[in-house]
Chain A
């Protein structure tokens, strides 16, 4: 994440005229209906405590300030609660616009490491929150359930299917899965060495 490198001054003639079309194509088709009323930001619980400003992001996106928008840290403070979407008088669906902009950010290499890790978990274990310790199995037994549930945790063939479809869609390369797993392996070895 390189938001620290953001320029203080926006050079507004460096516009990306393709950006709006990208957003519309990926999943924010109504972005151009925005008339900047600010209902979204006024409803936003993330904006109430961080510098995340939905209206501002949409305005910048419409101006074609792509690099500025996709590199900003605050883009990742939206909890996707959809309050703005339910209140927007223009049906801009700001939540979908934000998700589409995040898609562009990830495609251009702006992905937080913890997010990379969650994405890798799904390819590795079939689950973003996996059954990765014996203590979780014990917790299941304690409530009177089988230690391993019938989902992907007990069915390696399901994980294999996820690997095939994420490889086909290019998602594994997008998140840098192999490099990430290699780095994790290195870290593990380092820790073992330290004892």
Chain B
């Protein structure tokens, strides 16, 4: 492990604008593990890979490359906690290094603002930073509140590890890296049949037809219940988190089915396991709690629940 690795923190849209508790939890966890996060000032939307990549590939790659040039100027790798942001930044970085024609078209666009993609930095996901830079052993050592006996279902999502032939990180049919990082919290991994299917939100489907996207989500919830249920669902992506968390409110509205799962980002899980209280990073601001006015079930984690103060937040 390099001494005190430094990363540019690519926030994206959903973390800073809808689930800021993830941003705060990440600050706490990275500091606890001796990893430094630097502001990536002026970063924009990644832009969403399945959305903008579906509209016009060159513009998608240009906006992504602009974000990469911000980090290239400072010379540190990027880390991001969103599978979508990771896909746009990592994929565009990869494609621009291997596709001369695309690079030419992108740099031609970037010349308009005096920028140029050079391909000098790497893009990581928080999970990579946690697994490759900090290491599972260091994470385990830092745990002061082990979640023994807590049933944890995982939702790894798609773009962190797929496409596997390009990303070459984990076996997307039997992934183990995200699982190892989450298990470092001491929680008990609950396997369920549909763990590896998409949350339903990606590829502009949530925007096109929210009911179709929620149908994926319901399948996951039902699969978790069939496996005996879980106390928490953990994901490495805020867009998946939004779909699984706020999605419960929407499922109730559109399908009149009620689910009560507490959903966390992996850095929120680790912040708790490292002994931080939910109030320190505002875990009760998850949109499910804000909109449904319901109580988190954190007693199951051995955490006392205070009634969240009302903050008016609506989609």
Contact = CB atoms under 8 A, between A and B. Distances in A.
A144 B24 contact: yes
Contacts of B219: 45
B165 to A, nearest CB: 7
Given A82-B162, A86-B164, A129 B13 contact: yes
B56 A103 contact: yes
A86 B162 contact: yes
Contacts of B14: 129
Chain A interface, >50% SS class: helix
Interface string B35-49: 000011111110111
A86 B169 CA distance: 13
Interface string A174-195: 1100000000000000000000
A82 B281 CA distance: 33
B212 A49 contact: yes
A155 interface: yes
B198 A77 contact: no
Contacts of A91: 165
Given A99-B57, A122-B63, A45 B17 contact: no
Interface residue tally of chain B, by bracket?
A: 35 or more
Nearest to A156: B42
B208 interface: yes
Contacts of B125: none
B265 interface: no
Considering residues A77, A111, A149, which has the most beta carbons from chain B within 10 angstroms of its beta carbon? A149
B163 A86 contact: yes
A37 interface: no
B56 A174 contact: yes
Interface in A106-123: 106-107, 111-112, 114-115, 117-119, 122
A81 B208 contact: no
A46 B202 CA distance: 11
A39 interface: no
Contacts of A107: 56
Contacts of B313: 135-136, 138-139
Contacts of B51: 115, 118-119, 128
Interface of A: 26-27, 45-46, 49-50, 76-83, 85-86, 91, 93, 95, 98-100, 102-103, 106-107, 111-112, 114-115, 117-119, 122, 126-131, 135-136, 138-140, 142-145, 149-153, 155, 157-159, 161-162, 164-169, 171, 174-175
29 contacts: A27-B57, A46-B216, A50-B212, A76-B203, A76-B205, A77-B208, A80-B158, A82-B158, A83-B196, A85-B163, A86-B172, A99-B50, A99-B53, A99-B57, A103-B56, A107-B56, A127-B13, A129-B13, A129-B18, A130-B13, A136-B18, A136-B313, A138-B312, A150-B42, A152-B45, A155-B41, A161-B42, A161-B115, A174-B59
